[in-house]
Amino acid sequence: MKALDHPHPPHSVAATATAAGTATGTGTTAIAGGAAQPPRTGTAGTAGTVRTALAPGTAVDARTAVAPGTAVGAVDATTVLAPGTALAAVDATTTLTPGTPGTAGGAVALVVAPGGAGGNRLEGVAEFGTGSVRLRCAAGPERGVLTELGLGGYRPVPPGPGTGARLAEAADTLAELSPFAAGVVRDMVGAVVLLEPRAGRHPLGATMSSYSSPRLPSTVFVTELGMHRLPPGFMFAEPSVYSLQESLFHEALLLWLNEAHRISRPFRTVRSRAVNVYVSWHNAWWSAERCLRELFVFAHLPALRAAALERARGPQRALLAAAHRSASACARELLGSLGARPELFTRPGLELLEQIARLLPRRRAA
């Protein structure tokens, strides 16, 4: 298995538009006063190797950090519990499946089976970052799980030295760039899995840069393209720490939105979610649900890109400036299209649209 550490993505250029959509996934709770607030989880304790196995029935709560290699009774030694995970007891009869809720409403970031046998484990966890944001990079779930997620044409790969360095820098500098983005990534992303296409197979095309699914909470998949691409259609010629940060933030926002939608549904009916909406920059029709998810992301990108723009120099600055303008334009188009169809939404859905509108930069007077 080779590491993900290529110098260039397929067909990389300084800035180019793409015809296909950005990666799908999702994340959200309430947005108040025009500023989104990420859901809060418990504070993790200091990670360290526990040399004595925890006995069956030992309580593991939001204050517990379990380091890679820690033996937890009969639960597999590769277990890593995300900060905020609440489990009343872990014992020899416990089987954790994707998104298993804890007794306090937590969710297990990684999937574990008793004794390390079977299950859909995310194996080989390595952690990057030394500050409040820690990126736990896993070797990936079994191929069957990837197939169920629509990712059967991809395979997990470990990070090479260059990618590992970018993961560490992305984790350590995100809070300086945007405390809000760092909080969302910290709270919503429990594991990162690097993917590359299997030989001759591109099931989602060459444009998939990142992916997440409500079927595997707290997990973000990133391809090589996720270290180059800025939606809707811009590319860094070289791997970029900022592009990686944005890919993680993108999927963390979608995971957040998933959690919010478990509490309150934004659409009146299944048919409402499926109504087609024309998207001009893709020259395609998207479902109203997809438009809402992409709107939620694009509404949050201008602030992050503006912060990155202040630090950028040379060709990167020109590309970021164009991407910043594009994100605002995309968000306004999606907001206008959805706002023109209020009959599709529940009251919480309409309130979400109003709150998203407050996030968008004001238009400059002509």
Question: Do 278 and 322 belong together in one domain?
Answer: yes
pLDDT at 130: 93
Question: Do 200 and 319 belong together in one domain?
Answer: no
Question: Do 130 and 271 belong together in one domain?
Answer: no
Average pLDDT over residues 172-195: 96
Question: Do 224 and 302 belong together in one domain?
Answer: no
221 part of a folded domain: yes
Q: Across-strand partners of 136?
A: 127
70 part of a folded domain: no
227 part of a folded domain: yes
CB–CB of 338/279 below 8 Å?
no
Distance CA 182, CA 169 (A): 13
Question: Do 18 and 153 belong together in one domain?
Answer: yes
> Where does residue 11 fall: left (phi above 0), alpha (psi -120 to 50 degrees), or beta otherwise?
left
40 part of a folded domain: no
133 part of a folded domain: yes
pLDDT at 33: 28
pLDDT at 144: 87
Average pLDDT over residues 13-19: 28
Average pLDDT over residues 82-106: 35
pLDDT at 364: 55
Domain containing 332: what range? Answer: 264-366
Question: Do 218 and 330 belong together in one domain?
Answer: no
Confidence label for 222 from pLDDT (cuts 50, 70 and 90): very high
Q: Residue 27 is encoded by which pair of tokens?
A: 């994340």
pLDDT at 281: 93
CB–CB of 153/205 below 8 Å?
no
Least confident of 76-90, 243-257, 301-315: 76-90
pLDDT tens, 141-172? 888 888 999 888 888 999 999 999 999 999 99
Question: Do 219 and 277 belong together in one domain?
Answer: no
301 part of a folded domain: yes
pLDDT at 366 over 90: no
CB–CB of 236/316 below 8 Å?
yes
Question: Do 220 and 126 belong together in one domain?
Answer: yes
Average pLDDT over residues 99-125: 35
Sign of the alpha-carbon torsion through 202, 238, 156, 175? negative
pLDDT at 18: 27
pLDDT tens, 341-355? 999 999 999 999 999
pLDDT tens, 234-249? 999 999 999 999 999 9
pLDDT at 1: 57
pLDDT tens, 251-296? 999 999 999 988 899 999 999 999 999 999 999 999 999 999 999 9
pLDDT at 265: 94
Question: Do 203 and 317 belong together in one domain?
Answer: no
Question: Do 342 and 199 belong together in one domain?
Answer: no
229 part of a folded domain: yes
pLDDT tens, 311-339? 998 888 999 999 999 999 999 999 999 99
Overall residue count recorded for the chain in this entry: 366
Least confident of 34-38, 113-117, 150-154, 336-340: 113-117
